[in-house]
A and B are shown apart, each in its own frame.
Chain A
Amino acid sequence: MNQHQHYAGGTLLGPGEWVTVLLIAGAVAAYLLVVLRLRRRAIYWPVKRTSAWVAGWAAVGAALVGPVADRAHDDFVAHMAAHVLLGMLGPLLLVLAAPVTLALRMLPVPAARRLARTLASPPLAVLTNPFVAGVLDIGGLWVLYRTGLYAATHTEPALHVLVHAHVLAAGYLFTFAVLGGPDPARHRASPPWRAGALVLAIAAHNILAKVIYADPPDGVPVERARAGAELMYYAGAPVEIAVLVLVCRPWLLPRPRARGSARSVPGSRLSIRN
């Protein structure tokens, strides 16, 4: 803990933070390189996806390194701000960047086939079921804050890293499962099921915020727990609403069929019922 205070004032980063920065920089650089190579081959790639990838890793980076991350160690409110960035906003932006589609465009055909086969495999069908992914994501948060796990992450650095990795990965998985895209989603559930899983997850997230408010996790002062819980509730809402819009729009407001064929509309198979 003291180590963190060392770094908070200056520009020095701890060894773990350097690894984080390098990993994030690597992810951004790799994506940008692939986009550049596609462009050189005159293959179109939307700028908004590239921006989403950069912004998504910026959100993740802000949660893991820098002033918010430093304060998150001792301050539950900053911890919750980091939670919203790492587990909600970051994953949403990363999903919208469609990294798998980019990889499929870039990889040589045999490797692309292997990747596509893996994505269509039964284990991934289970993992990307919106209800399973929701339990992994929000259920994980319940375990974190309702058991001794949160206190343990402060004394066990490995556990700390593992929890962060889980929050990011589960957030990505759940967002992808609920949106059913833009990356290929062979096992995409129908929109009502995805919306249902999303509503349940939002409810479970809000209920958890109130439970934290009423009964703080071990070692968190009551007043900080309350401020943190309110931040979790209210700062999470814009991200939740954005995901709701993305789930509902292709379902309830499909583009007119006159413009562009039905095939070109993502999710159109599910949304042209009326």
Chain B
Amino acid sequence: MDPQGRRPTQHGRNIVAGILLGLGTVAFLDEAVFHQLLHWHHFYDKSTSDAGLVSDGLFHAFSWFATVAALMLVFGLARDGTFRASAFAAGWLTGAGFFQLYDGLFQHKVLGLHQIRYDVNLTPYDLVWNIVAALLLAAGIALWVVTARRVRRADVSF
């Protein structure tokens, strides 16, 4: 509660929970769909650089933490009645878009970590992967701006 006795909107906490779960979702889809179900990705490929290996290890370890932490935050927000789906969705889209872009551009391309698929022309895969990521990110940021503005307006009008 703030000094006026209002419940804080917890906008930031909703956003953070969304971003963390967005990262967790991307990492989970990467693992479950592309590694396990489709077998497009390889557990390890010979061209993987040391930096790529370290980056991937940290990415996945942090994504597990992000998923668990996000779920705890959401449970807490829901329990206190301060969960806001729009702010959460803004965070989720931003997090998912950002980390898919990070994976698609930085890890796959710059660090030369495993590719999306093997023995095929990669260009369409890379394009779809990164365009989807960019769209998610853009939608997330737009929604973030909208929800933040709504919160600010509510604060002022009080």
Residue A115 lies at the interface, judged by CB distance under 8 Å to chain B: no
Residue A105 lies at the interface, judged by CB distance under 8 Å to chain B: no
| B44 close to A214 (CB less than 8 A) | yes
Residues of A within 8 Å of B65, CB to CB, are 195, 198-199, 202, 244, 248
Identify whether the interface residues of B are mostly helix, strand, loop, or mixed. Answer: helix
Residue B11 lies at the interface, judged by CB distance under 8 Å to chain A: no
| A204 close to B79 (CB less than 8 A) | no
Q: A252-B73, A253-B76 are in contact. Are A230 and B43 (CB under 8 A)?
A: yes
Residue A110 lies at the interface, judged by CB distance under 8 Å to chain B: no
Residue B64 lies at the interface, judged by CB distance under 8 Å to chain A: yes
Most chain B CB inside 10 Å of its own CB: which residue of A229, A253, A274: A253
Binary contact track B39-80/A, C-beta < 8 Å → 1, others 0:
000011010100001101110111011001100110110010
- Give the residue of B61, B73, B79 whose beta carbon is less than 8 angstroms from that of A203: B61
Residues of A within 8 Å of B64, CB to CB, are 199, 202, 237, 240-241, 244
User: How big is the A interface, by class?
Assistant: 20 to 34
Number of interface residues of B (CB under 8 A): 22
For the complex, what is the distance from the CA of A249 to the CA of B56, rounded to whole Å? 26
For the complex, what is the distance from the CA of A211 to the CA of B54, rounded to whole Å? 10
For the complex, what is the distance from the CA of A159 to the CA of B72, rounded to whole Å? 43
Q: A204-B57, A210-B44 are in contact. Are A241 and B68 (CB under 8 A)?
A: yes
CB nearest to B65 among chain A residues: A199
For the complex, what is the distance from the CA of A200 to the CA of B62, rounded to whole Å? 8
CB nearest to B36 among chain A residues: A234
For the complex, what is the distance from the CA of A237 to the CA of B60, rounded to whole Å? 11
Residue A213 lies at the interface, judged by CB distance under 8 Å to chain B: yes
Give, as a whole number of angstroms, the nearest-CB distance from A145 to chain B: 15
For the complex, what is the distance from the CA of A251 to the CA of B69, rounded to whole Å? 9
Most chain A CB inside 10 Å of its own CB: which residue of B53, B62, B68, B79: B68
Binary contact track A238-265/B, C-beta < 8 Å → 1, others 0:
0011001100110111101000000000
Residues of A within 8 Å of B54, CB to CB, are 203, 207
Give, as a whole number of angstroms, the nearest-CB distance from B99 to chain A: 15
Cross-chain pairs A/B with CB under 8 angstroms, 26 sampled: A199-B61, A199-B62, A199-B64, A199-B65, A203-B54, A203-B58, A203-B61, A206-B57, A206-B61, A207-B53, A207-B57, A210-B48, A210-B53, A213-B43, A214-B44, A214-B46, A226-B43, A230-B43, A244-B64, A244-B68, A245-B68, A248-B68, A249-B72, A253-B72, A254-B76, A256-B79
Q: Which 5 A-B pairs have the closest CB atoms?
A: A203-B61, A202-B61, A207-B57, A252-B72, A203-B57
